[in-house]
Amino acid sequence: MVAPALALPPTIGGLTPPWHTILEIAAFAIGFRYFLRLRARQGDTIADDARILIFLAATGGALVGSRLLGILERPDLLGGGDLVALFAAKTIVGGLLGGLVVVEWAKRRLGVVRSSGDLMVRPILLGMILGRIGCFLSGTTDGTHGLPTTAFTALDVGDGIPRHPAALYEIAALVGIWALIAALEARVRLRDGARFKLFLAAYLALRLGVDHLKPGHAVVAGLTAIQLACVAGLVYYWRVLLRPRRELLEPEPWPTASTPTTTSP
**According to the model, what pLDDT value does residue 62 have?**
94
Region for residue 7 given its phi and psi (left: phi exceeds 0; alpha: psi -120 to 50; beta: otherwise): beta
- Average pLDDT of every residue of the chain: 89
Residue 86 vs residue 98, higher pLDDT = 98
pLDDT single digits (tens) 160-210:
999 999 999 999 999 999 999 999 999 999 999 999 999 999 999 999 999
Q: Is the pLDDT of residue 55 over 50?
A: yes
Binned at pLDDT 50, 70 and 90, residue 84 comes out as low
Residue 3 vs residue 19, higher pLDDT = 19
Binned at pLDDT 50, 70 and 90, residue 97 comes out as very high
CA distance 108 to 50: 11
- Which helix (DSSP H) or strand (DSSP E) does residue 156 occupy? strand 155-156
Q: Is the pLDDT of residue 136 over 70?
A: yes
**According to the model, what pLDDT value does residue 148 have?**
95
CA distance 234 to 208: 10
Q: Is the pLDDT of residue 131 over 50?
A: yes
CA distance 224 to 70: 11
Binned at pLDDT 50, 70 and 90, residue 263 comes out as very low
- Which helix (DSSP H) or strand (DSSP E) does residue 137 occupy? helix 121-137
Q: Is the dihedral of CA 61, 121, 190, 229 positive or negative?
A: negative
Region for residue 145 given its phi and psi (left: phi exceeds 0; alpha: psi -120 to 50; beta: otherwise): beta
Q: Is the pLDDT of residue 258 over 70?
A: no
CA distance 194 to 117: 9
Q: Is the pLDDT of residue 63 over 60?
A: yes
Is-contact 194 247, C-beta < 8 A?
Answer: yes
**According to the model, what pLDDT value does residue 141 have?**
83
CA distance 71 to 77: 8
Residue 178 vs residue 265, higher pLDDT = 178
**Percentage with pLDDT > 70 across the chain:** 89
